[in-house]
Amino acid sequence: MRVMRIWIGIFILFFVGGGVCAKDGKNTLSLFQQSCIKCHGKDGKVKGKVDLLKIRNAQDLTSDLERLQTIIEVLAAREMPPEKEPELKNEVRKAAVKELRELLHSAVSDGQGFALIPIRRMNRLQYNNAVQDLFGLKVSVFPLPEKMMRDRNGYFAKALKSKEKKMPETVTISSRPLGKSGLIEPRLAGVGPFPKDPRAEHGFDNRGDHLSLSPFLMEAFFKLSRRIVQSPNFDGRTVGIWKDFFVLPEGTQPKSVVRNRLRGFMTRAFRRPVPEEVLNRYTQHVHRQLDAGTDFTTAMREAASAVLASPRFLYLYDQPTASEKIKPLDSYDLASRISFFLWGSIPDEELLQLANKEQLSEPQVLKAQVNRMLADPKLKRFCDSFPSQWLQLDRIISSVPDKEKYPNFYYAAPDYRTTMDMMMEPLLLFETVLIENRSILEFIDSNYAYRSGRLRKWYGDKSIGKITGPVTLQFTRQPVTDRRQGGIITTAAVMTMTSGPDETKPITRGAWVASVIFNAPPEPPPANVPPLSEDKDSDKNLTLRERFAEHRENATCAGCHAKLDPLGFALENFDPVGQWRDNYENGRKVDASGVLFRKHQFKGVVEFKDAILSEKDRFTRAFAGHMLSFALGRGLDPTDAPALDQITEKTVASGYQLQTLIHEVVQSAPFVSRPRVKTASANSSKIGTKETR
């Protein structure tokens, strides 16, 4: 990748610096001949393994969309030309980015198609939700530690049903301590979960390339399906469809109702009309059991268990196309895609009926359905999954600040930490922006926050007395007038989880900002990176920035430090547990100054937020990339770039409203189109907004 960026620097200096983007490539070739090929192609001399003699025209450039997208990204981010080279004029840079994006858009519209989404099974949260909806369960199927927040007073549904669609002033919630459920929720007795699904690096746990189904796991799913229907409390008290599916009305012949009951049940489970030959097999199986003397309820339990173990239930699969033209997604696949995106579960009856009528893909119908789904309490499942993964909040569970240095961090020993309060603040902010359809820029800087008494005390509210913590907490909406707080970046949760036990980690914080806020995760550090000095005596009078000086001088490390240092040191006024400090323990003043994207100078965190807001459209596109990747269940690639540009444009025009962004994701070409079958000639390089790196 470093070699790629060296070449891009040369390319930009001459290709863009000359203000050319000729369709025939003659001007570019001329510049290469004059200034570049002496090191990259002439007389067999190929530095960095980049031979520019092979770039003969624009078609050669678009033959590698990964390279083209990388050029656009580093140019837009002002990463190139290098600092030692003359800076491009702003109008030249903007014109170049525009022209290169048009070149990329043209290449995609010429028939590249969209990346293939691997066949994948449901993840653990989706499986729980799907089983709940299929049976109308009034309890959870099994414990779900990945749900970081539990709604204890029904605030979410109340907010959605309220006329003004507004979050209540106070909410009662519980959180997940140390990987366990905050409080035990009602669930099926004797049913345990399968292993937690891996989350893709800089991605999500619904990614197709991470959700394989081994023979061992397939057997586990079979056993799980049996335990569900055989659970002691799987009965009329907990199962909503109990009477309609499992109970035989008095005086009715058992075999007369089996087929129709199975048809409706299996259509819902398989997310499309069940094939007659499949329905026949299940029906005949139940009939054989009835003939053998099995009672009706038990026979139907067995059939339901078989449905839960079927690949048709477990697998999510979008029918690809081998056509040269982009084709719309199958209506039933579209119903599943939107349902698993917003509800993390199978489509309901209304979605399936619209799919059956071939109406769901109509833009106005799709818009109406998204509005309906955004107003349904099942939207809480989206909030249980996307924001915590986007923000990488699972990292806070393992945060263990030094007990001697920060004794107040721990309470009700040995199990409870202030992280339980901290993790709720960004999640409640996300829910507020979603439900009230507010601007996503509030994720950067908001003038309100939901906080518990303990969290208010942690932030320095001296009016709060001694607190002894219950696990169930009340969070109250309050104004935030100090702009050092507000938004997500400067929450105690983020500051704590990106620190070590006794000191901050500016590079970790910078990498978090780069990944989460700008969707541009850094590459892993080289194996030979020297560690920071551990000589406490010689370093005790240095600031952390001074201790990092050796790294910045190392040629291997300098590139990453140039990008990450401004992002991480901007937050250095927050100590390892997210509390404000002006000076280090040695009395030296904290220096939180820097330059964002070699363009926006700042002296502290408030000006840093202003700098990010100056790049608000860049943040919007990055956030849209996260959302689109989550919605599709795959990493993004260059063919998604035109859709990201359109989503960003529409979201900006709406005043950056979150629900507009969601609508645009659902209406986007990658979302409503079939993925394309990979061929030898298809360009399938993965890059997108760097989410897949």
Considering only CA atoms, which of 210, 203, 208, 200 is closest in space to residue 115?
Answer: 208
Residue 270 pLDDT > 80: yes
Q: Which of 189-193, 272-276, 570-574 has the lowest mean pLDDT?
A: 189-193
| Average confidence (pLDDT) over 644-670 | 97
Check pLDDT > 80 for residue 190: yes
CB 358 within 8 A of CB 142: no
What pTM did the predictor assign?
Answer: 0.89
- CB of 396 within 8 A of CB of 419? yes
pLDDT of residue 15: 46
Cis preceding-peptide flag for 363 (omega within 30 of 0): no
pLDDT digits (tens, 9 = 90+) for 276-323: 999 999 999 999 999 999 999 999 999 999 999 999 999 998 777 766
Bridge-partner residues for 497, per DSSP?
A: none
CA distance 143 to 381: 14
Taking alpha carbons only, the member of 496, 327, 494 closest to residue 417 is 496
Name the DSSP class of 580. Answer: B
Q: What is the dihedral of CA 169, 172, 176, 178, to 10 degrees?
A: 100
Range list of H helices, 583-667: 605-614, 616-632, 641-653, 658-667
DSSP-derived 3-state class of residue 286: helix
Residue that is written with structure tokens 């109008």 in the block: 91
Write down the pLDDT at residue 14: 43
How far is it, in rounded angstroms, from Cα 431 to Cα 148?
13
- Give me the pLDDT at residue 208, please: 82
Residue of 325 and 162 predicted with greater confidence: 162
Apex 315 CA angle, 312 and 318, nearest 5: 100
> Where residue 21 falls among pLDDT bands split at 50, 70, 90?
very low
In this prediction, residues 666-691 reach a mean pLDDT of: 63
Q: What is the mean pLDDT of the chain?
A: 84
With a cut of 90, say whether residue 401 has pLDDT above it. yes
Using DSSP, state whether 152 is helix, strand or coil. coil
**pLDDT score at 538:** 60
Give the per-residue pLDDT at 85. 62
Q: What is the rounded average pLDDT of the residues 645-670?
A: 97
Q: Cα–Cα distance between 276 and 285 in angstroms, integer?
A: 14
- Residue 262: pLDDT over 50: yes
Interval 312-358: pLDDT, tens: 999 998 777 766 677 889 999 999 999 999 999 999 999 999 999 99
Dump strand ranges (E) for 13-143: 120-121
Do residues 65 and 107 touch, judged by C-beta distance below 8 A? Answer: yes
Residue 568's pLDDT is 92
How much is the pLDDT for 107?
Answer: 77
Q: What local confidence, expressed as pLDDT, does residue 680 receive?
A: 40
Structure tokens at 503: 């000191």
| DSSP character at residue 262 | H
Taking the C-alpha atoms of residue 57 and residue 27, their distance in angstroms, rounded to an integer, is: 9
pLDDT at 94: 74
pLDDT at 142 over 50: yes
Q: How many CB atoms lie within 10 A of CB 90?
A: 10
Q: For residue 211, is pLDDT > 90?
A: no
Q: For 104-243, where are the E strands, in sequence order?
A: 120-121, 149-151, 170-175
The dihedral over CA atoms of 224, 228, 229, 234, expressed in degrees to the nearest 10, equals 170
**Selection from 266, 301, 298 nearest residue 280 by Cα:** 266
For 492-560, what is the HEC assignment? HHHHHHCECCCCECHHHHHHHHHHHHCCCCCCCCCCCCCCCCCCHHHHCCCCHHHHCHHHHHCHHHHHH
Q: What does the pLDDT look like over 612-640, one tens digit per residue?
A: 999 999 999 999 999 999 999 999 988 89
What average pLDDT does this structure show over 93-117? 75
Has residue 103 got a pLDDT over 80? no
- Which amino acid type is present at position 171? V
* Strands 120-121 and 416-417, bridge-based pairing: unpaired
Question: What pLDDT is recorded for position 178?
Answer: 41
Q: Which helix (H) or strand (E) holds 454?
A: helix 453-458
pLDDT given for residue 194 in this prediction = 83
User: Which one is predicted more confidently, 308 or 78?
Assistant: 308
Q: Is the pLDDT of residue 433 over 90?
A: yes
pLDDT at 22: 44
Residue 32 has pLDDT above 50, yes or no: no
Return the minimum-mean-pLDDT range out of 137-146, 220-229, 234-243, 520-529: 520-529
**Beta bridge partners of residue 328, listed in sequence order:** 673
Mean pLDDT of 54-80: 73
Q: At residue 10, does pLDDT exceed 70? A: no
For residue 99, what pLDDT band results from cuts at 50, 70 and 90?
Answer: confident
3-state SS class at 150: strand
**Closest to 173 in 3D by CA, of 438, 343, 446, 380:** 380
- Range with lowest mean pLDDT among 202-211, 368-377, 512-521: 202-211
Phi and psi at residue 192, to the nearest 5°: -105, 155
**What pLDDT score does 135 carry?**
98
Which is more confidently placed, 415 or 335?
335
450-460: average pLDDT: 93
User: Average pLDDT for residues 412-438, to the nearest whole number?
Assistant: 89
Q: What is the Cα 641 distance to its own chain's centre? A: 17
